[in-house]
Structure 1
Amino acid sequence: MTMKIPIWGKTIPYNTGLGKFDELDIKHRHSSKALSGLKAIAALKRPYSGSRRHWIHQATYAIEIRDGEASDTYDDMPCLIPYLVPGSDRAIIIVPGGGYVTRTTKHEGEGIAEALNEAGISAFILEYRLNPYKAPVPFLDMQRAVRYVRSQAPGFGIHPSKIGALGFSAGGHMVAALAALLRGSSVDYAGYEKDDIDGSDDRLALLGLVYPLISCTDLPSVAVSLFHRKDAENEKKREELLRHYSLAQYVRPGDPPHFLCYGDHDMLLGSDGISAYKESLDKHNVPNTLLTLQGANHGFGDCRALGVSDA
């Protein structure tokens, strides 16, 4: 059985124990995971609408909730899955994507962790909370994961200043949101009991963003999985939030080094968001490297499958 380490303490912010179906728009409880996932991906690319909302919520239910991978109430427990290398003092927290609808852990997690281990680097895969949890919940899980690993670094044999993160698609959005938007902020949630881990630094040594969602305006229906329905259905509020969670605007001088990677045939996000982000990094003199994979579409996952050994 895979070892999973819960990252929160006595209380988990936004875990109310209430049912998720007030937020989820579910019409069919027996549709296949594959069909639901494909329709959700197609829906994410298109403008926000009620039908898009249905397919995105349907995918969350079919893929994550129906068979028990996630709870049907707000009491999920975010975890880290460790892949430790004896003697390594470095670690990367891997954040799979999935549009905040699901987590593509096998495709964008397990193989990546194994590749890092082969390079002598310890890794942790983050299992964060998904739709119908809304922003800022995934970002708080990302922040807590960094603080947890740093606070426990001596026990893992890891140097506290050698912790980075590698995020894919929505996971890249989470990594960048932590570094650019949260920036050491405290958890502000009624009833949350802070612990010693909350005092740990959340700054990363480096960021890896692979075909990341950077500009939410490029994927407007992400509003379904990231914003509450009342906000998503209000056009003015939806556009305001899509702009707020678009991250190039938050880059500052002194931010950690970045590795950026995407395919030049990315049919889901294109190149505009990552180009704007790189321009902002360059403008603020943040060290960065951009790798463009020729002929690669969105979601290529483990670069070794493309024969790219230096990615």
Structure 2
Amino acid sequence: MINKIEMLRIALFTGLLLLTGITSASQELRPLWAEDKMPYSKANDLIEEEKESWGTRCVFNVVIPQLYIYPAQGKNSGKAVIIIPGGGYEVEAIYHEGHDVARELAKDGITAAVLKYRLPLAESSDTPEKLPITDVQRALELMRQWAGLYGFETDNIGVMGFSAGGHLAAFACSKVLQRPNFSLIIYGCPRLSDENVDWLENKLFHRTMTEQEYDEFNILEQVNSSTPPSFLVHALDDKVCHYEETSEYAAALRRHNVAFELHTFPDGGHGFGLGDESNGTDQWIGLAIRWIKRL
């Protein structure tokens, strides 16, 4: 349940957005849950804040999820994308992997919604691993309800995730409830390698995963003929999420005859957001927009 202190957080953060110029007439801020119906959360004293991390502005201590909606401009494509920023399940790179990307999609006729999802913090939940995926599924549910309002089709709503957000996007594609219609996974990490198991147990679960959870989060093994089509991007020199994270996901999609488009760049590292002209990674967003419109 959201208490009065938490509601004050929303008001203060919205005021900060107005002062910093992040909001505009073309963007709408919507809560994800009603005041008394936010599942898996518990009372806490965490204060949301923004500061630099990994060389970019990030949001810390997210306990109240929200959607920042950028309606399609110009000719409406009838498509919508929920953008899931990365941050290792510790922070959210909501600007260069969120708002910046949303503006590019919106100006090309694609409704974009940046999801500020609850971080899996032990202080805010007894089941922190449920928070991010529950918020993604709620965002999909709400966007389908609002399709007529924004002029897109209920069966043309995708997810776009970066890094840990890419893990979350791929995980959402393995679900039956509120499954996206397509996905874009940008330098994501869907493998259940020993390294990723350690990461998930430390940052998502805050405990050892059970055998059932291990199976559930074995995303590559969850791929089947019902998995949505995917647009995949990775840099070969990524030292945080190895490019095999993406190539193995592509191979799993191919085995089940699921359509995908894969783009790899020789340079770019990790966390390049919209990319850089100097190494060619800036090409992916244009390719992604054309792919979405072809669906």
Given the two structures, how large is their TM-score scaled by the length of structure 1?
0.71
* Secondary structure of residue in 1 paired with 2:249: helix
The question of 1:64 aligning with 2:60 is answered yes
Q: Rate the CA distance shift 1:19–1:307 in 2: closer, same or farther, 3 A.
A: closer
Q: Which has the higher strand share?
A: 2
RMSD after superposition: 2.6
Distance 1:203 1:126 in 2: 16
Residues 1:11 and 2:37 aligned together: yes
Farther off after superposition, 270-279 or 292-301: 270-279
1:284 CA displacement: 0.7
Residue type of the partner of 2:97? E
For the pair 1:183 / 2:193, whether they are aligned, the reply is: no
Alpha-carbon distance in 2 for matches of 1:18, 1:152: 31
- Per-residue CA deviations over 1:237-295 (Å, capped at 9, x if unaligned) read 47875564231110111322111110000101112322221111111111111100121
Contact 2:182 2:229 in 1 (8 A): yes
Following superposition, the deviation at residue 164 of structure 1 comes to 1.1
Moved over 6 A (4+): none
Q: State the shift of 1:221 in Å.
A: 2.7
Indicate whether 1:310 and 2:287 are aligned: yes
Q: 1:19 and 1:299, CA in 2 relative to 1: closer, same or farther beyond 3 A?
A: same
Structure 2: gaps spanning 5 or more residues: 1-17, 289-295
Aligned partners of 1:176 and 1:247 also within 8 Å? yes
Residue 142 of structure 1 is matched in structure 2 by 136
SS in structure 1 opposite 2:68? strand
| Correspondence for 1:85 | 72
- The separation in 1 between residues aligned to 2:148 and 2:51, in whole angstroms, is 41
SS, match of residue 60 in structure 2: helix
Query: Is the Cα–Cα contact under 8 Å of residues 274 and 282 in structure 2 kept in the other structure?
Result: no
Residue by residue, what CA displacement relative to the aligned partner does 1:23-81 show, whole Å, maximum 9, x if unpaired?
Answer: xxxxxxxxx955xx45xxxxxxxxxxxxxxxxxxxxx9xx624xxxx4xxxxx321110
Matched, 1:246 2:218: yes
Kindly indicate whether residue 164 of structure 2 is the aligned counterpart of residue 170 of structure 1. yes
Aligned length: 244
Provide the rounded CA distance (Å) in 2 between the counterparts of 1:272 and 1:300: 17
Tell me, in whole angstroms, the C-alpha distance in 1 between the residues paired with 2:201 and 2:213.
8
- Provide the rounded CA distance (Å) in 2 between the counterparts of 1:255 and 1:238: 24
Is the counterpart of residue 122 in structure 1 residue 111 in structure 2? yes
- Identical columns (%): 30
What is the deviation of 1:131? 3.2
SS at match of 1:4: strand
TM-score (norm 2): 0.75
Counterpart of 2:87 in structure 1 is: 98
When residues 240 and 268 of structure 1 are mapped into structure 2, their CA distance, relative to the original with a 3 A threshold, is farther
Q: 2:246 aligns with which of 274, 278, 285?
A: 274
